[in-house]
Amino acid sequence: MNNQALLLLVFAGISFADIYLHVPRGSNNRLNEKSAARTNANRMFNSENNNRGGYNAGDATSEPSGQDEGKQYRMKYFQSGPWKTFSNGEGQSYLTLEWTIQHGCGGNEDTDPQKQNCVLVLQYMCQDDVNSATGTEDTLRNGVQTKRQDYEKPASMEETETAKKKRKTKNVKAERGLHESFDWYDKCYMRERNKGLFTADQKLKTNNGHGYSSAVYTRQNRNGNQYGYECPEDHDYYPYWHPTPWKDIAVFAENSTMCSHYQSKSFNVQPYGECVELYGAGRRRHWSRWNNPADCVRNGKQWVDFHNYLEKATEFKTEASCVTANKAGLKYVWGIPYDASDVSKKECLVQLDQPDCGEAPWSRSNHLGNGRDGQALNYTWILPHFPSGKTQRCVFRMRYNVSTDDYDPYNTDSRHNDGTTNKSPVRTNPYVEIGAGPSPLRLAINTAQFGRVFQDRSHVFLLRPRPPALNREKIFNLNVRGKRGNIVQVYPAVEYDFAPSYLNINEGDLVHIQWTGSNTHNNGDPEGDGQKGSDGEGKAGTDRNNLVQILDRNENFPIPFEKTTMWTNAEVKWIYHMEQTVSPKDLALSMASSGYYTCMTRSTCSKSANKDSSAETKDELNNLLNNAPASYEGAVVKFKKGIHHFICSRNNNFTNRSQKGTIIVR
């Protein structure tokens, strides 16, 4: 493939940068380990991060989910309503994403220079939700085992469709986590790598038995190590020059002048091609060796442009009806979807928006901390609206690249790779002369990491359609970040806090309060390169949260219900146990008990299924929430004008550094 002028990797000289997601909780390849260090860094994706980072998948109850994925808790966010048909942001759902990065980002080169450049890429992918017990081989899942999915390459370049299906069934394990599909990695393994890329002095391997180097071999991954079913070439570069299952949310560049490039080249709006080969029956083979139009056609194959999409609009069967549908406020495109099995048929697709773009937010170098003014690094994602009205099963990923100006990243390509002429401008562990004769200095440079992409991903979560009555309201999500332990025990994760800790909204806006936690955050052996242990209140190793009102953030005693303004003036628009009417007192009790109680008295529980969850009939709640659920699906609430401060009663000690928050309703 020809040299690409669209590389994410503006190559860096320092190799220890990390990125950790806190909202939504980033896995860093963890599942449900009781250890401080993750079990398997190759489980789902290549993070390049420290083994201690990340959060366990949430548990739905007060007990570990164990080998039953149905007992895990998936965060459940309401999609935006059909907001493009409204005005002034009506119908939008807002999720404030938060993260920490190690080596800094952002800043103006003239007035506020950093020590390096950076790019941040935020993406997601979704599929229609299915019952976990009846899912398919390609169903997004966290899994219940920390082993990586298996992979076995095709025995022949002329593999039959039947042989491929057998190979996939043999390798894909239902009990193991999965983001990208087997087919995606298989395609990557068999497609020739982009030989126009700069690889410095790294010697990339070739596919065993096939005689060429494929897209699983990159400068950062010269040995072709497998990380789940992630494609290493797609991991390392953005925008990728082939179709990808990921949808772009936002790109934060080292310079805003790059935004027009990133936005126009995003697969959200720019079709990308692949070489198409067919099985004997005429069905599309999901992979081909050829990575560019010239080689594809020269070898008797067909080069086809594919479209990305939010979802398929199957109700529109013709191009005319598809194009006409644009008048409804959504954009539709008539094209071939990237996952099509029959490339002769176009379909109506809900088109994605181009990604948001701007300069990367500033953060301090060599410090996993907040940004300016002590605020967490964040971005508010306007959640998508799926016209089909179907619940979506999704995963979010964020990639972070650090780079320096040691050479021009956009004009340094394969012509500068080492070979017989040794043209690379950088080399591994080079010696530099300082004018002292035979005493040069050696630099600590690994060209496999001289320009490096780090990544974190969420656990699987759900995007649910709204109740029709809430289609026009704005919904703000209020969650919890952090896990059990003191700062040195949880690092590089963070201690508990509400997220966002300050929420400014207008009267009439809605707040969805929800949180998740694990029952196995014990931080035991192996402890890795930090301190083990899980200091805090209540049962060791367990996350617990609740929400009770206080009068002021400097105070630590909740006020009795009769004196609250937060609850007595609140209106419940939706609650997880689907009561038709919920009194303010029942709402306050549900929040304070993390859903252990749904109502004060048996008579106020309006549905028979909840009769035994009242405070007068259910076993007593442990005062440290030990028998409360680790996760809480919560409620959507409309608050009255005012300033409402709140606290978590269990985690508000000096070990866990004051878990408090504020909602300001204007």
Q: Which pLDDT band, with edges at 50, 70 and 90, does 280 fall under?
A: confident
Task: Give dist(CA 353, CA 385) in Å, integer.
Answer: 12
Mean pLDDT within 165-188: 97
CA neighbor of 351 nearest in space, from 327, 332, 374: 332
Phi, psi of 368 (to 5 degrees): -80, 80
Mean pLDDT within 604-612: 67
pLDDT digits (tens, 9 = 90+) for 305-354: 999 999 999 999 999 999 888 876 789 999 999 999 999 999 999 999 99
Check the CA dihedral 46-252-179-132 and report its sign.
positive
Instruction: Tell me: pLDDT of 1 over 50.
Output: no
Predicted pLDDT of residue 580: 61
pLDDT digits (tens, 9 = 90+) for 535-584: 999 999 999 999 999 999 998 999 999 999 999 889 999 998 876 678 99
Extract the tokens encoding 454: 């780090």
Predicted pLDDT of residue 111: 73
Predicted pLDDT of residue 329: 76
Task: Give dist(CA 9, CA 62) in Å, integer.
Answer: 44
Polymer length in residues for the chain: 666
How many CA atoms lie within 13 Å of 493's alpha carbon, on the beta-carbon side?
Answer: 35
Angle, helix 161-171 to helix 182-190, in steps of 10 degrees: 120
**Where do the H-state alpha helices sit in 272-332?**
293-298, 319-324
Instruction: Tell me: pLDDT of 529 over 90.
Output: no
Buried b (16+ CB within 10 A) or exposed e, 156-180: eeebeeeebeebbeebbebebbbbb
Write down the mean pLDDT value for the chain.
91
Strand partners, 480: 498
Q: CA-CA distances (angstroms) from residue 124 to 24, 130, 365?
A: 12, 18, 27
Extract the tokens encoding 596: 């252990």
Residue 497 CB contacts under 8 Å (≥ 6 apart), including other chains: 480, 481, 482, 657, 659, 660, 661
Instruction: Name the 3-class secondary structure at 399.
Output: strand
Long-range contacts of 153-156 (CB under 8 A, 24+ apart): 153/186, 153/189, 153/190, 153/207, 153/208, 153/209, 153/210, 154/186, 154/190
Q: Would you state the torsion angle of the CA atoms of residues 389, 391, 393, 396, taken in this order, to the nearest 10 degrees?
A: 60
Extract the tokens encoding 253: 């560049």
Lowest-confidence range among 147-151, 307-311, 633-637, 654-658? 654-658
pLDDT digits (tens, 9 = 90+) for 361-417: 999 888 898 988 888 999 999 999 999 999 999 999 999 998 878 888 788 888 889
Which position has the higher pLDDT, 443 or 294? 294
Extract the tokens encoding 131: 């019952």
Lowest-confidence range among 11-15, 512-516, 628-632? 11-15
Radius of gyration of the chain (CA): 26
Task: Give dist(CA 239, CA 264) in Å, integer.
Answer: 10
Predicted pLDDT of residue 173: 97
Instruction: Tell me: pLDDT of 13 over 50.
Output: no
Give the strand order in the sheet containing 284-285: 284-285, 272-278, 302-306
Mean pLDDT within 591-611: 82
Predicted pLDDT of residue 16: 44
Which position has the higher pLDDT, 469 or 518? 518
Q: CA 222 from chain center: how many Å?
A: 26
Predicted pLDDT of residue 604: 77
pLDDT digits (tens, 9 = 90+) for 54-109: 999 999 999 999 999 999 999 999 999 987 777 788 999 999 999 999 988 887 77
Counting residues of the chain whose pLDDT is more than 70, the rounded percentage is 95
Extract the tokens encoding 443: 């630099």
Mean pLDDT within 451-471: 95
CA neighbor of 44 nearest in space, from 236, 203, 179: 179
**Where do the H-state alpha helices sit in 218-363?**
232-236, 259-265, 293-298, 319-324
pTM, two decimal places: 0.94
Q: Which pLDDT band, with edges at 50, 70 and 90, does 654 fall under?
A: low
pLDDT digits (tens, 9 = 90+) for 217-264: 999 999 999 999 999 999 999 999 999 999 999 999 988 899 999 999
Task: Give dist(CA 106, CA 112) in Å, integer.
Answer: 9
∠ CA 253-23-656, rounded to 5°? 125
Instruction: Tell me: pLDDT of 473 over 50.
Output: yes
Predicted pLDDT of residue 419: 75
> In the structure, how many helices (H) and strands (E) does the chain have?
8, 28
Instruction: Tell me: pLDDT of 270 over 70.
Output: yes
CB atoms under 10 Å from CB of 298, counted, come to: 10
Residue 458 burial (10 A CB sphere; 0-12, 13-18, 19+)? buried
Instruction: Tell me: pLDDT of 44 over 60.
Output: yes
Predicted pLDDT of residue 307: 98
